Amino acid sequence: MGTKHCIAFPFARTAIYFSLRAKSFPEGTEIIMPPISIKGILDVVLDLKLKPVFVDIDPDTLCFDLSELKNSITNETKAILITYLYGIVPNMVDLINVCRKNGLFIIEDYSHNLNATYNNKKLGTFGDVGIYSSSSVKTLDTFGGGLLITNNSELFFLLKKNSDFLQLPPRRILIKKIITNLIRNFATNKIVFTLFTFPLLKLLKIIFPEDIMKYSGTRDKDPIDNLPLECFYSFTSLQAKIGSHMLEGVLQLDEIRINNVEKIKSVVKSIETPSGHINGKNVYWQFIFYFKDVKKGQDYLHANKVDTSTTSLVNISSLRSYSYQGETPKANKLYNTGLFIPAYPGLKNSNIKHITDVLTNLSINNQEEPN
Ligand SMILES: *Cc1c(COP(=O)(O)O)cnc(C)c1O
């Protein structure tokens, strides 16, 4: 990433936890948070007794709406967790300017945007620390991991001490992750997926329609009393080895995926999809488009042999069981109506052609029916 320092933690949430703890913010300090992320990140912020302030997103960049961001910053606001979504790049100059003018400590969660750039500068290197989750389904997957980068040497030495204290995980934890991945890879192998997994998903859809609407199913949404022990095991040398080995391949796969998305976008013009800022290079971790009637969209795509679902992340600004709730209608729209379209590097040209045909028909059918 071109930064001076890097530390590996077991999870992105652990890296965020130690970064925020290093700043010793007093209880109740406000931190600007994305309305959509994983719940574990909200849990660490609350564990540190910070006050999350959710700012809605811009539907075209999937990152903070800048005017809402300016309006949300108070004298109590000391930090911001910028979270890029789906590989889309926002206006980094304006975003960072707002944060710096207000003296905010900037954490960038670039888990979806590895190798994305703005004016040729990598996302993750604009703030004080950049954090990447190398967990399953991310483009660089090391059986879990929270890779932290920074140019701030003082902060680095503090965080390095924290990471040196972490104990090695029991072997079974890693083995469990590896087995889970093997099963997932098997189930999504082309032939197995076509003959077995996809028909099974369609069947499950009849029984659990809600669960199949979400990529990777519905997730736990309740608050926790203590951060789980699992968050505080160290990253292992085995994971580091796997990651180093994969690094180069990731760039190549990114290019193929970006190319696939561009092919689809150039043919299917009538779908509404976030486009990001003009100076950004999107990496499309997952290629999503907004479709008003998601149920109908998913049924149509499934009937035509294209797998689709809405986001696997959580709408953390509106979790009922937490006391902090924000009004984030644009994030809700993404959460509820953002369907993602396969654009995996493994797709053949004929698959891409099929996907574009089905999407074209879907948007034509949709225009004909006013409701
Ligand atoms: C997957 C993901 C994470 C994962 O965090 P872990 O703590 O490593 O599980 C974090 N942030 C975003 C935006 C993600 O999509």
Choice from 9, 11, 14, 41 to test ligand 1 binding pocket (greatest atom count within 8 A of CB):
41
Tens digit of each residue's pLDDT (9 = 90 or more) over 291-302: 989 999 999 999
Instruction: Report the distance separating Cα 54 and Cα 68, nearest Å.
Output: 10
Instruction: Point out the ligand 1 atom lying closest to the alpha carbon of residue 83.
Output: 13
Give the separation between CA 235 and CA 11, rounded to whole angstroms.
8
Query: 371 CA to middle of ligand 1, Å?
Result: 36
Q: What is the mean pLDDT of residues 236-256?
A: 95
Cα of 353 to ligand 1 centre, how many Å?
32
Q: Where are the domains of the chain?
A: 5-163
211: pLDDT confidence band, cut at 50, 70 and 90?
confident
Q: Ligand 1 center to residue 257 CA distance, Å?
A: 21
Q: Is the pLDDT of residue 369 over 60?
A: no
Ligand 1 atom 5 nearest Cα? 12
Instruction: Give the integer Cα–Cα distance in Å for 297 and 362.
Output: 7
Q: How far apart are CA 298 and CA 306, in angstroms?
A: 9
Q: Do 106 and 126 touch, CB atoms closer than 8 A?
A: yes
Output the six-digit token pair for 326.
């924000």
Q: Measure 350 CA to ligand 1 centroid, in angstroms.
A: 33
pLDDT classification of 371: cutoffs 50, 70, 90: very low
CATH of 5-163, one of 1.10.3470.10, 3.40.640.10, 3.40.190.90, 3.30.450.40: 3.40.640.10
**Predicted pLDDT at 216:** 66
**H helices present in 281-348, as ranges:** 294-303, 329-337
- Is residue 156 scored above 80 in pLDDT? yes
In ligand 1, which atom is closest to the CA atom of 231? Answer: 7
368: pLDDT strictly greater than 60: no
Give the pLDDT confidence score for residue 322 in this predicted structure: 80
**Ligand 1: distance of its center to the CA of 89 in Å?**
17
Nearest CA to ligand 1 atom 9: 11
Average pLDDT in the chain: 93
DSSP letter at 229?
G
Q: Residue 306 pLDDT more than 50? A: yes
* Closest residue CA from atom 14 of ligand 1: 111
- Give residue-wise pLDDT tens across range 20-53: 999 999 999 999 999 999 999 999 999 999 999 9
Query: Measured between alpha carbons, how far is 217 from 213 in angstroms, rounded to an integer?
Result: 7
- pTM for the predicted model, two decimal places: 0.94
Q: Atom of ligand 1 at shortest distance to CA of 10?
A: 8
Q: What percent of the chain has pLDDT over 90?
A: 76
- Chain centroid, CA 59 distance in Å: 15
For residue 247, the CA-to-ligand 1 centroid distance in Å is 19
Task: Report residue 35: phi and psi, to 5°.
Answer: -75, -20
Q: How confident is the model at residue 370 (pLDDT cuts 50, 70, 90)?
A: very low
Q: How far is the CA of 111 from the centre of ligand 1 (A)?
A: 6
266 Cα–ligand 1 center, Å: 31
| Rounded Cα distance, 367 and 364, in Å | 5
Name the residue with the closest Cα to ligand 1, atom 3: 133
Terminal Cα-to-Cα distance of the chain (whole angstroms) = 47
Please report the atom of ligand 1 found closest to the CA of residue 138.
1
CB under 6 Å to ligand 1: residues? 11-13, 37-38, 40, 83, 109, 111-112, 133, 135, 138, 146, 313
Distance from residue 328's CA to the centre of ligand 1 (Å): 20
Which residue has 């789906």 as its token pair?
86
Ligand 1 atom showing the smallest separation from residue 144 Cα: 8
Q: Strand, helix or coil at 342?
A: coil
Query: What pLDDT does residue 367 have?
Result: 60
Distance CA 210, CA 218 (A): 8
The closest-lying atom of ligand 1 relative to the alpha carbon of residue 145 is: 8
